[in-house]
Structure 1
């Protein structure tokens, strides 16, 4: 049995290459079945995300170049292009790589949790395709167990390391129950979309997206059951907004001190939490002077992110140790599996000898032989038959001068005798 983990990721390949090698969800089942058929793999799974495409295989004989050639051929990509950016890990290194990926240690954002769910989807699809056997199945389960331990025993996923998530985390510190808050998001780009996602996940149901064009605002808002408005509508929305997060490309401020003061009067000075992620700023700096406003800039968030990255890195060091232990434990269990067939055959042989001697003993009892004599003969006969094959092999090892093998046999038999040649 041999494992291989082969693929490309954000560290080794450009976005262009990653896009060309990505598997769509509706391709995966057929791709897995074709992969096993064409490279002679007994078991296989595929993990495909925006940052990586990886093949996990259990093969009788490791053939990474054949696997890479299949990947290139399947996506009609030049083999030379893939050879310049692929990586391949084998056996214990493959096990360790899978565990590091599942724990977020190999992610673009250190410790990000989404990858574990994507690995679980990979496992489920392989089961559906019929390409997940007992060995790769055990590896996935060991991987999930190690990832769970890392999440439980370290703080690797506790501190936000994106500006968007840091903004939402600060909002949680201001408001005890975000679910009762209304959020006004100004802009409709990637950062605001991510902020909306995090707010929605934290239970914020009232999300208003303001933008220069209503269509772009609607594209973001509808995904989170929110409301889309134009920038001109902000004065009407602001008095009802507890959270304001802005990220536009405007060269001039969108929110001034006067507009916020008017909103605060209508709110009867109920506090507003504001985050200005834009550069140049969307919110005038003077707004931060108002008593009932908590205003944070992108620099404030970067300080939070930098500090949290340090915290995650410390947790990552502890996670690496857990991954190493998980790898060692799995490889040990795997080696123990190698003995299962031998043990099964040895037990079956012993049971045949036992049954044979038992039948002889029962016949002797039926013929009137004393029970004591029958038991003595049963013990002698069973002992002689159980020792016969090992005795023959031990003598042969000695005759051939295979003293190292004799020492192993002594250990296997649990003997404690002086070494004699």
Structure 2
């Protein structure tokens, strides 16, 4: 059996290709069923996110082509187009890749934590679809264990390395309890959407989304059960905001010093945390001169990001070492498991020989033969039957000058000499 990991990701495929190869939740159940129905596939799991689609399979074939052809057919994508951006790993390399994915070493943002949760969802989906057997079940469980070690023993997930995450991380220095804070997000692009996700994960429950087009504001707000407003409504809503994060393409500032002063007066000077991610700036620099405003710009965030990226790289090196150990442990256990079938067959064969000798001995006793003679014959026959096949194999190995087999036979069959007293 071969363990295969096959997929595409943000490093090998464009967004357009990744969109075509992604699996929607309704497609996933069908896909897992089709994969398991292939003659050469014994187990299968599918990981599908915005940045990657990967198939993990236990197959009877030694190559990736049948799985690549299936993926191409399922999504209606020419196999040549897919093969140009697909990668595959086999056996221990596949296990290593899965572990690196789990801890965020293969992610767009080094060490990002979301991928582990997505991988656990993929694992559960495969279990629900009865796509897992002993091989993938144990690999996923071992991978989750390694990922936990990496998270607890390194700092790979502790330092933000994206602008959105850095903004939310800085806010945590000002507010002890996000659940009691209200955030205003100005803009509705990808960065603001990511900020909204990080804020929700951090515990913020109330958000206001302000955008030039109210329709887009309502669209983004709907994803987070937030309030949508236009840019003209910011002055009225600002006094209710504890956190303001802005990222628009406006050519001139949207939030000025006077607007902030009026908001602070209505708030009775409760502080406001502001992050201006936009270039050119959305918030007038003079706003930062106000005593109760903590204003950060994208340059401030970049300093945090660069420093944290250095910290994460150190942690990533530590994570690679833990993963190498994890792969070694998994490979050792896999080899032990692979010997199980051989041991079972060998024991079954010995049991059959024992049963044959036992039945013949009992038959002789039933005919009234001398018990001592029966026992001696039983021992003689059983010994010859157990030793016949190994003896023939050793003679053949000797005649063929197979010293490797003879050395293995000696190690397996001959007890080492007792130490002299």
TM-score by length of 2: 0.88
Work out whether residues 218 and 228 of structure 2, in 8 Å CA contact, stay in contact via their aligned partners in 1: yes
Determine if the alignment matches structure 1 residue 100 to structure 2 residue 123: no
Q: How many residues align?
A: 416
Shift of 1:113: 1.8
Work out whether residues 272 and 293 of structure 1, in 8 Å CA contact, stay in contact via their aligned partners in 2: yes
Deviates more, 1:187-196 or 1:36-45: 36-45
Aligned positions of 1:126-145 closer than 5 A: 126-145=126-145
CA distance in structure 1 between the partners assigned to 2:65 and 2:242 by the alignment:
57
Work out whether residues 275 and 295 of structure 1, in 8 Å CA contact, stay in contact via their aligned partners in 2: yes
Shift of 1:170: 0.8
Work out whether residues 410 and 416 of structure 1, in 8 Å CA contact, stay in contact via their aligned partners in 2: no
Deviates more, 1:318-327 or 1:393-402: 393-402
In structure 2, what is the equivalent of residue 33 of structure 1? 33
Determine if the alignment matches structure 1 residue 284 to structure 2 residue 265: no
Q: Once superposed, what is the RMSD of the aligned Cα atoms? A: 2.9
Work out whether residues 39 and 66 of structure 1, in 8 Å CA contact, stay in contact via their aligned partners in 2: no
In structure 2, what is the equivalent of residue 78 of structure 1? 78
Work out whether residues 36 and 131 of structure 2, in 8 Å CA contact, stay in contact via their aligned partners in 1: yes
Shift of 1:95: 1.6
CA distance in structure 2 between the partners assigned to 1:115 and 1:201 by the alignment:
14
Aligned positions of 1:263-282 closer than 5 A: 263-282=263-282
In structure 1, what is the equivalent of residue 218 of structure 2? 218
Aligned positions of 1:283-362 closer than 5 A: 283-352=283-352, 360=361
Deviations 1:174-218 (A, max 9, x none): 111121122222222222222222222222222222223333222
CA distance in structure 1 between the partners assigned to 2:145 and 2:392 by the alignment:
45
Work out whether residues 365 and 374 of structure 1, in 8 Å CA contact, stay in contact via their aligned partners in 2: no
In structure 2, what is the equivalent of residue 149 of structure 1? 149
In structure 2, what is the equivalent of residue 249 of structure 1? 249
CA distance in structure 2 between the partners assigned to 1:346 and 1:107 by the alignment:
46
Work out whether residues 361 and 378 of structure 1, in 8 Å CA contact, stay in contact via their aligned partners in 2: no
Deviations 1:258-314 (A, max 9, x none): 222222233332222111111111111111112221110011111111111111111
Aligned positions of 1:156-171 closer than 5 A: 156-171=156-171
Deviates more, 1:6-15 or 1:208-217: 208-217
In structure 2, what is the equivalent of residue 111 of structure 1? 111
Deviates more, 1:362-371 or 1:269-278: 362-371
Determine if the alignment matches structure 1 residue 230 to structure 2 residue 252: no
3-state SS of 1:339 partner: helix
CA distance in structure 1 between the partners assigned to 2:191 and 2:245 by the alignment:
10
Deviates more, 1:138-147 or 1:150-159: 138-147
Deviations 1:52-72 (A, max 9, x none): 222222122223223222222
Distance 1:174 1:58, change over 3 A: same
Work out whether residues 42 and 58 of structure 1, in 8 Å CA contact, stay in contact via their aligned partners in 2: yes
List runs of 5+ in structure 1 lacking aligned partners.
none
Deviations 1:119-139 (A, max 9, x none): 222223333333322222222
Aligned positions of 1:393-412 closer than 5 A: 393-412=393-412
Determine if the alignment matches structure 1 residue 193 to structure 2 residue 198: no
In structure 2, what is the equivalent of residue 207 of structure 1? 207
Distance 1:391 1:63, change over 3 A: closer
3-state SS of 1:330 partner: helix
List runs of 5+ in structure 2 lacking aligned partners.
none
CA distance in structure 2 between the partners assigned to 1:361 and 1:155 by the alignment:
69
CA distance in structure 2 between the partners assigned to 1:229 and 1:262 by the alignment:
19
Shift of 1:233: 2.6
CA distance in structure 2 between the partners assigned to 1:275 and 1:362 by the alignment:
92
Distance 1:31 1:265, change over 3 A: closer
Distance 1:241 1:121, change over 3 A: closer
In structure 2, what is the equivalent of residue 59 of structure 1? 59
TM-score by length of 1: 0.88
CA distance in structure 2 between the partners assigned to 1:414 and 1:330 by the alignment:
30
Shift of 1:172: 0.8
